């Protein structure tokens, strides 16, 4: 076994390729994102130049095989990219989650050869931006409640409905959306469709006044009699729920890996501040209550990393990893929110100001507890698995 060779055994050492991927992503974040993110965030500005930079470095196709325009990286490397990007800002990691995790990796698994050539290749090369539209105004955790319809007319479908809280909807070229082909069949009546912006009847809108990810994009999709050819259905009719669950196994992994970046950013800022700020004649880092918060961040970082690596190891082996990925996502996002919360506390009133990065980290760290399965949904999944009410493996 070679160090870092996740194919043949467990290792805690990165191999050379993984180290190179990590160093290159870190350099990009330090040069392109960190110096500008505070201004972009305050201005609610999505910088497409940063996204182009990510695309040029192959990040948008990280885990996609080279034959489909990607980098062919393993899941450890993909996790490292997500971690570094979120160390810069959660908004850009969200793009990786929807474009690569939820959309492209799902296309790779379920797409026909023709669909992969038309949609996956330009996505992996970063020439087209992709999003994932599952959530609706009245259907979030309860996916089977979705109301969008896909009515078959000859050899096409007419799609109608609304998707909300869709990351990057307003800038995406490609959309993977879910709609009911059979309204009475519950989750078995859902099918998946590939849409592109050029199709008449699609409109998008940005959501304003949200709590965080101000330098990212969150929007809505409106579908009004969108004519979707049969060849744009992903998988079989009624397979949409299964496809969405597979997509979430991929997306959640990128969210969990990204959370490590928030914990690191919170910890780095806190260590710096705790050593510099004095109170009662000593650096605040000398106080045990402050040390406790720093220690909790370290614990959150290390335990989250182990869960992310466990999920990556299973993914690289092609083994079902729903349970492990759910656990990694739940734990890492909760640890990231706690780390950001404690970082604000350590910074005192300055933590409440945009002068320091921890205020942005705190706002951004809230959303991952909601999307790709709320914390409660992940608790329910873990409990129901061990109680024997559902299987998350095998």
What residues are labeled active site?
372
Cα 61 to chain centroid distance, Å, stands at 14
144 sits near ligand FAD (criterion: CB under 6 A): no
Return the H-helix or E-strand segment holding 294: helix 288-317
101 sits near ligand FAD (criterion: CB under 6 A): no
CA distance between the termini of the chain: 26
Nearer to ligand FAD, 273 or 371 (CB): 371
Beta bridge partners of 206: 219
d(CA 331, CA 159): 37
385 burial class (0-12, 13-18, 19+ CB within 10 angstroms)?
middle
b/e 53-74 (16+ beta carbons within 10 angstroms → b)? bbbebbbbbbbbeeebbbbebb
Choosing from 140, 261, 285, 300, the residue that interacts with ligand FAD (CB under 6 A) is 140
d(CA 357, CA 14): 29
- The least CB distance from residue 213 to ligand FAD, in Å, is 6
- The least CB distance from residue 314 to ligand FAD, in Å, is 23
CB 304 within 8 A of CB 259: yes
214 sits near ligand FAD (criterion: CB under 6 A): no
Nearer to ligand FAD, 47 or 316 (CB): 47
Site string for ligand FAD, 325-364 (x = CB under 6 A): ----------------------------------------
Residue 290: which residues within 8 A CB-CB, separation 6 or more? 274, 284, 346
Site string for ligand FAD, 154-193 (x = CB under 6 A): -----------xxx--------------------------
Place of tokens 């008449």: 200
d(CA 167, CA 170): 8
Backbone Cα Rg of the chain: 21
Single out the segment in contact with ligand FAD by CB under 6 A; choices: 48-56, 127-135, 316-324, 340-348.
127-135
Nearer to ligand FAD, 307 or 367 (CB): 367
Residues touching ligand FAD: how many (CB under 6 A)?
Answer: 20
d(CA 25, CA 52): 14
Single out the segment in contact with ligand FAD by CB under 6 A; choices: 28-36, 51-59, 128-136, 198-206.
128-136
133 sits near ligand FAD (criterion: CB under 6 A): yes
371 sits near ligand FAD (criterion: CB under 6 A): yes
Nearer to ligand FAD, 143 or 290 (CB): 143
Choosing from 2, 7, 141, 275, the residue that interacts with ligand FAD (CB under 6 A) is 141
Choosing from 14, 34, 156, 380, the residue that interacts with ligand FAD (CB under 6 A) is 380
67 sits near ligand FAD (criterion: CB under 6 A): no
Indicate the pairing of strand 278-279 with strand 174-180: unpaired
Question: What share of residues in the chain are helix, strand, coil (percent, to 5)?
Answer: 55, 15, 30
134 sits near ligand FAD (criterion: CB under 6 A): yes
253 sits near ligand FAD (criterion: CB under 6 A): no
- The least CB distance from residue 129 to ligand FAD, in Å, is 12
Nearer to ligand FAD, 166 or 361 (CB): 166
110 sits near ligand FAD (criterion: CB under 6 A): no
- Residue 48 has what DSSP assignment? H
246 sits near ligand FAD (criterion: CB under 6 A): no
- The least CB distance from residue 180 to ligand FAD, in Å, is 15
Residue 383 phi, psi dihedral angles, 5° rounding: -65, -45
d(CA 51, CA 355): 25
Residue 243: both structure tokens together: 């496809």
98 sits near ligand FAD (criterion: CB under 6 A): yes
Residue 312 phi, psi dihedral angles, 5° rounding: -60, -40
Choosing from 213, 243, 256, 392, the residue that interacts with ligand FAD (CB under 6 A) is 213
Kindly list the residues in this chain that would bind ligand FAD in the complex (CB under 6 A): 98, 131-135, 140-141, 165-167, 213, 218, 367, 370-371, 374, 376-377, 380
């Amino acid at each position: 076994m070679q160090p870092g060779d996740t194919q043949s055994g467990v290792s805690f050492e990165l191999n050379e390729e993984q180290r190179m991927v990590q160093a290159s992503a870190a350099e990009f974040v330090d040069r392109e994102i960190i110096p500008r993110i505070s201004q972009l965030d305050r201005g609610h500005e999505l910088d497409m130049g940063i996204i182009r930079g990510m695309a040029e470095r192959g990040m948008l196709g990280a885990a996609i095989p080279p034959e489909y325009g990607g980098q062919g990286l393993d899941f450890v490397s993909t996790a490292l990219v997500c971690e570094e990007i979120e160390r810069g800002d959660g908004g850009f990691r969200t793009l990786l989650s929807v474009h690569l995790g939820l959309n492209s990796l799902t296309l790779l698994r379920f797409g026909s050869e023709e669909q992969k050539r038309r949609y996956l290749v330009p996505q992996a090369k970063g020439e087209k931006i992709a999003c994932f539209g599952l959530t609706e105004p009245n259907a979030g955790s309860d996916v089977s409640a979705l109301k969008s319809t896909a009515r078959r007319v000859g050899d096409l479908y007419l799609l109608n409905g609304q998707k909300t809280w869709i990351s990057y909807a307003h800038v995406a070229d490609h959309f993977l959306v879910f709609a009911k082909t059979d309204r009475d069949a519950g989750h078995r009546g859902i099918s998946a469709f590939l849409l592109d912006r050029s199709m008449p009847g699609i409109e998008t809108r940005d959501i304003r006044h949200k709590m965080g990810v101000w330098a990212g994009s969150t929007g809505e999709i409106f579908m009004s009699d969108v004519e979707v050819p049969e060849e744009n259905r992903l998988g079989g009719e009624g397979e949409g729920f299964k496809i969405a669950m597979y997509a979430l196994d991929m997306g959640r992994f990128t969210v969990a890996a990204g959370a490590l970046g928030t914990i690191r950013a919170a910890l780095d800022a806190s260590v710096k501040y705790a050593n510099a700020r004095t109170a009662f004649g000593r650096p605040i880092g000398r106080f045990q209550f402050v040390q406790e918060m720093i220690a909790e961040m370290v614990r959150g970082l290390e335990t989250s990393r182990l869960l992310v690596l466990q999920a990556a190891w299973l993914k690289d082996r092609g083994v079902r990893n729903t349970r492990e990925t759910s656990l990694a996502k739940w734990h890492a996002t909760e640890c990231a929110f706690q780390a950001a919360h404690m970082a604000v506390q350590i910074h005192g009133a300055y933590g409440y100001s945009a002068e320091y990065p921890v205020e942005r980290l705190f706002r951004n760290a809230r959303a991952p507890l909601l999307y790709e399965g709320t914390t409660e949904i992940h608790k329910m999944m873990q409990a129901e698995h061990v109680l024997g009410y559902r299987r998350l493996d095998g």
